[in-house]
Amino acid sequence: MDELLKELHELEEMMLQCMKCGTCQSDCPLYRTDGRESSVARGKISLLQSVYEGRIENAGRILKHLDQCLLCTRCLKACPSGVKTDEIFLRGREVLRRIKKLPKWQKLILKTAMEKPELMARMAPLMHMGLKFGSKKIKDGIYRPMIPGLGGRNVVEIKSEAFVKKYGGLNRADNEIMRVVFYPGCAVNLIYTEWGTAVVEVLRHFGVSVYVPETNICCGIPAASMGELEMYRNAVKANYDALAVYKDAAYIITSCPTCRYGLYEMGPKQTGAECPLTVVDILVFLEEILSVRLQTGAEGRSTIHFPCHYQDSKKGLVENFVRSSTNTEYMKLDNQSCCGFAGTFSIKYYERSKGFSRSKIEEMKDKKTDKVYIPCPGCAMQLADAAAREGLDAEVTHPVTELYNFIKEIK
């Protein structure tokens, strides 16, 4: 307990910055659904303070409130005082977690994903099979599993071959103007492999050679969100070491905003180490660095879901991209909330997380959208599940796949 208090005290400096103004209520998706202080940043910070100031003895009890957070960073962005809510919650969880240990099965999956990435890739065909046997195919690539543990969630197919198996190594462009590293992250490596293909092929088309690491090491954010910060730090450092090898690459490209956040924003803060290269989202890279102008033939009524971890300053860029590179009629969503996936949140609190995605799908139904562009695989999984559940027949995809489809056609 003394040890714990000491560590909480280290958070004190950060937490003192919170003046309890309540501004964080304005955008917190959890608070907007339940109106309770324990959901919102101000309440969570007060709870942590109550522990170290001795008003709450049983620190373990507040863990559930800290756990029930999407880590969507909306409070971080809204906070006038610049309270680093994301850091406070991550570290707070780490400390409190020591009291209440993680369930064994969660730890096992985590450990495998973090520490034996090759094993994950090798297990892909197995998981692929397992999913097929244990579930019912309800749509192309979407399955309703019969495994009770998943709570009836529709899952996106796990591919029989991991992305890095096929693309690992240097993928040379014909008229090479530069080299980059593509960091697929677990979801693209195992599930949305076609996004990975699109990224590599589109880059090659524009003269960019792409290194794909032979082994995909998880960015570590899932571990962090479960309060296993040490595991996260190790993952970040392992990634930095692995990525430092690509000395002639100019950037690290990713198609997962959470990976970018984990490696490039939170990573340095938690490890004190620097990421060897600048990490850029694929759309930002295409627009800002390559200045790509391509008019694909994509049609229909489209909308965009903006992932929480997508850089705020670049959200307009995604809209521009969809507007200028497709022929779709773009309908902006009024509901700009989190999709509810939030890494492990949707596994632990599936019922609650369903509420967030449901309200988004309702609006998409109202607006009759048949294409949902999502530049994040996690959000795509969540909304693909919700769309299947709520009966919205819409294609859920990354904008870069449109470019790839187009390039394939003209070749």
Ligand X SMILES: Cc1cc2nc3c(=O)[nH]c(=O)nc-3n(C[C@H](O)[C@H](O)[C@H](O)COP(=O)(O)OP(=O)(O)OC[C@H]3O[C@@H](n4cnc5c(N)ncnc54)[C@H](O)[C@@H]3O)c2cc1C
195 near 232, Cβ under 8 Å? no
Nearer residue to ligand X within complex by CB, 23 or 50: 23
Going from the C-alpha of 397 to that of each of 29, 81, 192, 216, 305, the distances in angstroms are: 24, 37, 9, 22, 10
Interface with other proteins in residues 65-124 (CB under 8 A): 65, 79-82
In angstroms, give the least distance from the CB of 79 to ligand SF4: 3
Among 6, 9, 26, 152, binds other proteins (CB under 8 A): 26
Tell whether residue 35 is a contact of other proteins (CB under 8 A).
Answer: yes
Q: Tell me how far apart the alpha carbons of residues 360 and 338 are, in angstroms, rounded to a whole number.
A: 9
Among 14, 24, 256, 396, binds ligand SF4 (CB under 6 A): 24
Tell whether residue 36 is a contact of other proteins (CB under 8 A).
Answer: yes
**Residue in this structure with the two tokens 């939170």, named with its chain if needed:** 266
Q: Where does this chain touch ligand X (CB under 6 A) — which range of 5-13, 21-29, 334-342, 382-390?
A: 21-29
Give CA 145 to chain center in angstroms. 23
Nearer residue to ligand SF4 within complex by CB, 10 or 161: 10
In angstroms, give the least distance from the CB of 71 to other proteins: 19
- Strand ordering across the sheet containing 135-139: 135-139, 142-145, 155-156
Nearer residue to other proteins within complex by CB, 214 or 363: 363
Nearer residue to ligand SF4 within complex by CB, 83 or 279: 83
Q: In this structure, what token pair is assigned to residue 65?
A: 């409130």
> How many residues lie near ligand SF4 (CB under 6 A)?
26
Burial code (b: 16+ CB inside 10 Å, e: under 16) for 177-209 equals ebbbbbbbbbbbbbbbbbbbbbbbbbbbbbebb
Nearer residue to other proteins within complex by CB, 44 or 159: 44
Nearer residue to ligand SF4 within complex by CB, 9 or 77: 77
Exposure of 161 in the CB half-sphere (CA atoms within 13 A): 9
Length of the chain, please?
Answer: 411
Tell whether residue 21 is a contact of ligand X (CB under 6 A).
Answer: yes
Q: In this structure, what token pair is assigned to residue 330?
A: 């773009």
| Total Cβ atoms within 10 A of residue 317 | 17
Site track 235-254 with other proteins (rule: CB under 8 A), x = hit: --------------------
In angstroms, give the least distance from the CB of 14 to ligand SF4: 10
Nearer residue to other proteins within complex by CB, 22 or 297: 22
DSSP 258-308: HHHIIIIIIHHHHHSPPPSS-EEEHHHIIIIIS---------SEEEEPPPT
Q: Tell me how far apart the alpha carbons of residues 227 and 195 are, in angstroms, rounded to a whole number.
A: 29
Interface residues with ligand SF4 (CB under 6 A)?
A: 18-24, 28-30, 40-42, 45, 69-75, 78-79, 81, 83, 85
Interface residues with other proteins (CB under 8 A)?
A: 13, 16-17, 19-23, 25-26, 35-38, 43, 46-47, 50, 55-56, 58, 61-62, 65, 79-82
Interface residues with ligand X (CB under 6 A)?
A: 21-23
